[in-house]
Amino acid sequence: MPTAAKAPPIPGLSESPSAIRVLGVGLDGALMHAIRPWAAELQAQIEFVTDLPQAVRRLAAGRWDVVLTVLGEHPDEDLHWWANALRGRTGAPRLIAFAHRPSMGLALRAEQLGTHDLLALPVRREELMRSLRRVGRGTSEIAVPLESTANEDLGRYALVGQSPAMLDVYKLIARVAPSTATVLIQGESGTGKEVVARAIHANGPKASGPFVALNCAAIPENLLESELFGHEKGAFSGAVARKIGRFELAKDGTLFLDEIADMTLPLQAKILRAVQEREIERVGGGDPIPIDVRLIAASNRELRDAIQQGRFREDLYYRLAVVIVRLPRLSERGADLALLAAYFARQFASQYGKHITGFSDRTLELLTAHRWVGNVRELRNAIEQAVIVADGGTILVEHLPDEIRGHEGSLAGTLSGELATLAEAEARHIARVLAHTGGQIGAAATILGIHRNTLTRKIREYGL
Amino acid sequence: MTAPKSSREGMASLRVERALRLLPDLEALTPLRALLVATSRADAGAQWASSGPYLTLGKRAVEPAQLRRQVDGVLEQITEHLSALYHAYIDALEALSVGDTAPAVAALLRAGRSEEGPGRWSQARVWYEVALKLADELQDRRPEIEILGALGRLARTQGHFQQGARYFQRCLALAEAEFDQSGVAEACAGLGSLAAAQGQWGGARSWYKRGLTAAQAARDLKRTGHLYHRLASVDHHEGDDVAALEHLQEARRSVESIQDAEGLARVLAAQGDVESEQGHADSAALSYREGLAWARRGSAPAVECAILIRLAEFHMKGDRFHEAEEELRRAEQTAIAHSLSRRLVQVYTLMGRLRGRQKDETGFVFFEQAIELCRVTERAPSAEGRLYREYGNFRSILGSPDEARAYLEKARAIFESLGETGELEGVEADLEKIGG
């Protein structure tokens, strides 16, 4: 278990609280006149450019911490434009946008895009000063080494995790894999349904056969049938050649049907027939073709609800749900998040030829605080982006996607402009682990690798 | 289960592909189709679903309430559009009734332009043809020159190269006779672009040079910039990137002097292409970014979309697939929001190519979506040919030679009918690779 230790300075990180660099884009004279002295009070270096093309050139020419801009007639589009323009820039400057009449919708959009702040015009001094202070340039970040991960590699993803929720999943996989029973995997998007399907296949009697996956929601409705069952040449206008469908391709192996709830009712009936009679017919073909496949289906929706709404066949459900594996959300997996982050950091570091040795403590805090609606897939994406833009061995806050950095200002301690002491870092880490365990001291002590009495003493000592 | 939940879920599940099937394929409903597409949105949950990377227009969600809210605005635009056409016609009649042909021609030309603006090319062509017949009666030949130029441009866009060449030749002859240097420049630019499309690069250069001289004589800075830009494209194609950059500098000077933001965006994108070819990745990225900023400033979503597509190709060349995909998704968003269906075809074609490079079989969904778009929008044969060529190569990479051959043959037939020699040679080389 890593412990926060006083680390050597991290390359690319400012150790002393130096002046933040602010670029004002397209602000009118009065606004520039107002902002200049406020920036000076904060000892910020401010520069103004009149339009977007100039801004692009200035942003490319150096490191900037903040961009101030006024949103135009299409504020939503402007926010998108800026989010794209600032992504991947040196230092990943934060956007403070001014709007004439910011609506709730615009505020939500700004939040989604990771805009640092959205302020109403006319600009109020205190609001802007507070926003600029929150940018946090000069905030100390301490390197925390990557956790070691034991994992089972299964293609692009891996089964990584030691949380109780995942242990239950592993046990169920171990029980169901040796049979040929049909399995239904349910879980939110990004929880790893295909990884689990691959694990079942790899540990089952058809492991030597192919694993064929089909995402039912991705395929146009009018083509799904031919993808599943194949077609003969000329069966329909786009059938330029004979096509072998996924059922046939999965012969003696496993067919994984992901997002199965997206199938139309007539097609569900054809799947049911294939499962019951163990044979299919190609579109435009007359001869039945016997099939011998193990079927695993998955859905991110509750299929029972779909049955109630008349959108999913009950008889098919019972055919598929011989065994049900339910996958936990990332937020229910506690310390698995750090393990997964470390696993992905190593994976992408190898892919992109980088040498990543750790995350900063602030980065880990932000990762922990984020609401992972996309679960492990979202985490994987975030770490990939961070690894791509990281220029040293440690992934810093500035390397994270804006959507995650959006929470930066709301974390305690952001305003600190000095490098933290070992005690401060330790206190922060303990608080983070306690937040993970929902305040359970025993579980937190286990994660931290210290005795619960020691932890209790430290909690008292740091006033947590 | 409560009723409101059911109703919400019902709306969320309604997809564009299904909504479009409900919409009869009638010309009168074209604006409604465009509105349906422009107001569609990706499901909040789709972003992180395993189908997320394959999300296409057809899989976006349609919200009937949103359509209902915006339909009045569209009806107003339709009324305005029809009103402009009807009034143009009445203006033409009035002018003719008092024996004044020139204003009548001008009114018909105006009607053609208002059809051409939103991409209704076939309708625009009909107006221009009517105007052309009438313009024949005029002493002043300048309106005729203008109409012929417009007809040439439309024919080229619709892939009717020979017809386009005839219009531009007539335009050139008249413009020269009338000492109309702008008209000469327009005709030469058109003839050059037709030659380039047919792989006649030497011919294209000659036309562009001749056009440039005329544009400079007319002090027409917009056309001067455009022709320098076209000359750069010939240089670039012939491998002379030094000359290309010099011509682009000239183009930049011309369009900058008239504050032509859109023109500048195009020039910067071309500069990005050349720099990318030279291996100057940082400069290329900066040129593309600056081009995007100019396109934004000039409120030119079509140019913005085109630059995003080129930026994606630039990343794809460097195997930066993640970045390429991000740019393509931005281009997709821009194309959908502004009803740029031809650009959307390009976006999905490239998205398919990207998946092919990643050996991802499910990438076929992008090609299928692009084919579907070609079916429901105004025909653009060149884009269609390129689409089938890419689809063929995708199938070839993924080990389906029969399907690959079938799509490449389709592409070959299209390019043959157009006379696009360069593309045709490319397709034949692709076919040879798979033993076709």
Please state the length of chain B.
436
Cα(A254)–Cα(A243) distance, rounded to whole angstroms? 19
Nearest CB to B297; choose among A53, A85, A193: A53
Set of chain B residues whose Cβ sits within 8 Å of the Cβ of A55: 293
The CA distance from A57 to the nearest CA of chain B, in Å, is 7
| Amino acid (one-letter) located at B166 | R
Q: Which of residues 356-385 of A touch B (CB under 8 A)?
A: 373-375, 377-378, 384-385
The CA distance from A439 to the nearest CA of chain B, in Å, is 30
Nearest CB to B365; choose among A87, A220, A309: A220
At CA B385, angle to CA B383 and CA B391, rounded to 5?
100
Q: What is the pLDDT of residue A114?
A: 79
Nearest CB to B368; choose among A223, A240, A374: A223
Angstrom CA distances, A119 to A42, A134, A136, stand at 18, 14, 18
Set of chain A residues whose Cβ sits within 8 Å of the Cβ of B289: 56, 60, 85
Query: What is the per-residue burial (b if ≥16 Cβ within 10 Å, else e) of B293-307?
Result: bbbbbbebbbbbbbb
The pLDDT tens digits along chain A (464 residues) read 333 333 444 444 433 346 788 999 988 888 888 898 888 888 888 999 988 889 998 998 888 889 999 998 888 888 888 888 887 676 678 899 999 887 767 877 787 787 888 888 888 888 888 888 877 554 567 888 888 876 666 555 568 888 999 999 999 999 999 999 999 999 999 999 999 999 999 999 999 999 999 999 999 988 999 999 999 988 887 788 888 999 999 999 999 999 999 899 999 999 999 999 999 999 998 789 999 999 999 999 899 999 999 999 999 999 999 999 999 999 999 889 999 999 999 999 998 899 999 999 889 989 998 889 899 999 999 999 899 888 888 999 888 988 787 656 544 444 334 444 566 567 666 766 665 565 677 877 877 888 888 888 887 776 56
Q: What is the pLDDT of residue A421?
A: 57
Q: What is the pLDDT of residue A395?
A: 93
Set of chain A residues whose Cβ sits within 8 Å of the Cβ of B407: 240
Cα B307 to the center of its chain, rounded Å: 12
The CA distance from B151 to the nearest CA of chain A, in Å, is 34
Looking at every residue in chain B, the average pLDDT score rounds to: 91
Q: Which of residues 373-412 of B touch A (CB under 8 A)?
A: 400, 402-403, 405-407, 410
Nearest CB to B48; choose among A219, A258, A375: A375
Cα(B40)–Cα(B60) distance, rounded to whole angstroms? 6
Closest A-chain CA to B8: A309
The CA distance from A398 to the nearest CA of chain B, in Å, is 18
The CA distance from A59 to the nearest CA of chain B, in Å, is 10
Angle between helices B142-157 and B101-116 (to 10 degrees): 20
Set of chain B residues whose Cβ sits within 8 Å of the Cβ of A80: 330, 333
Q: What is the pLDDT of residue B5?
A: 40
Nearest residue to B170 via CA among B140, B197, B200, B190: B190
Closest B-chain CA to A74: B299
Partners of A297 in the beta sheet?
A184, A257
Set of chain B residues whose Cβ sits within 8 Å of the Cβ of A81: 296
**B356 backbone dihedrals φ, ψ, rounded to 5°:** -60, -45
Question: Hey, is the C-beta of A258 within 8 angstroms of any chain B C-beta?
Answer: yes
Query: Cβ of B403 and A300 within 8 Å?
Result: no
Q: What is the pLDDT of residue B363?
A: 95
Tokens of B350: 């490239």
pLDDT tens, residue by residue, B398-416: 998 989 999 999 999 999 9
Closest B-chain CA to A60: B286
Nearest residue to A319 via CA among A382, A276, A381, A361: A276
- What lies within 8 Å, CB to CB, of B147 at 6+ separation is B105, B109, B112, B128, B131, B132, B135
Nearest CB to B49; choose among A259, A384, A385: A259
Global confidence as pTM: 0.82
Closest B-chain CA to A215: B51
Set of chain B residues whose Cβ sits within 8 Å of the Cβ of A216: 51
Q: Beta-carbon neighbour count of residue B11 at 10 Å?
A: 14
Query: Cβ of B402 and A241 within 8 Å?
Result: yes
Closest B-chain CA to A217: B51
ipTM of the complex: 0.78
Q: Which of residues 320-359 of B touch A (CB under 8 A)?
A: 322-323, 326, 330, 333, 337
Is residue B28 a contact partner of residue A336, using CB atoms and an 8 Å limit? no
**A353 backbone dihedrals φ, ψ, rounded to 5°:** 65, 40
For chain A, which domains are there? 21-133 (3.40.50.2300), 164-327 (3.40.50.300), 332-462 (1.10.8.60)
Q: What is the pLDDT of residue A43?
A: 82
Extract the residue ranges of chain B whose pLDDT is less than 70.
1-13, 44, 436
Query: Cβ of A52 and B365 within 8 Å?
Result: no
Nearest CB to A241; choose among B293, B296, B406: B406
Nearest CB to B289; choose among A56, A223, A309: A56
Query: Cβ of B293 and A219 within 8 Å?
Result: no
Cα(A177)–Cα(A196) distance, rounded to whole angstroms? 10
Q: Beta-carbon neighbour count of residue A360 at 10 Å?
A: 24
Query: Cβ of A309 and B9 within 8 Å?
Result: yes
Query: Cβ of B290 and A53 within 8 Å?
Result: yes
Nearest CB to A308; choose among B1, B297, B406: B1
Domain extents in chain B: 64-178
Query: Cβ of A80 and B333 within 8 Å?
Result: yes
Query: Cβ of A51 and B293 within 8 Å?
Result: yes
Q: What is the pLDDT of residue A397?
A: 87
Set of chain A residues whose Cβ sits within 8 Å of the Cβ of B50: 189, 193-194, 215, 217-218, 258-259, 377
Question: Hey, is the C-beta of B257 within 8 angstroms of any chain A C-beta?
Answer: no
Nearest residue to B146 via CA among B171, B123, B129, B121: B171
Closest A-chain CA to B408: A240
Question: Hey, is the C-beta of B293 within 8 angstroms of any chain A C-beta?
Answer: yes
Query: Cβ of A374 and B48 within 8 Å?
Result: yes
Is residue A42 a contact partner of residue A133, using CB atoms and an 8 Å limit? yes
pLDDT tens, residue by residue, A106-151: 877 787 787 888 888 888 888 888 888 877 554 567 888 888 876 6
Best B1, B48, B262, B365 member to test A by mutation, with max A CBs in 10 Å, is B48
**A438 backbone dihedrals φ, ψ, rounded to 5°:** 65, 30
Q: Which fold has domain B64-178?
A: 1.25.40
Q: What is the pLDDT of residue A433?
A: 66
Q: Which of residues 9-28 of B touch A (CB under 8 A)?
A: 9-10, 13, 15, 17-18
The CA distance from A450 to the nearest CA of chain B, in Å, is 37
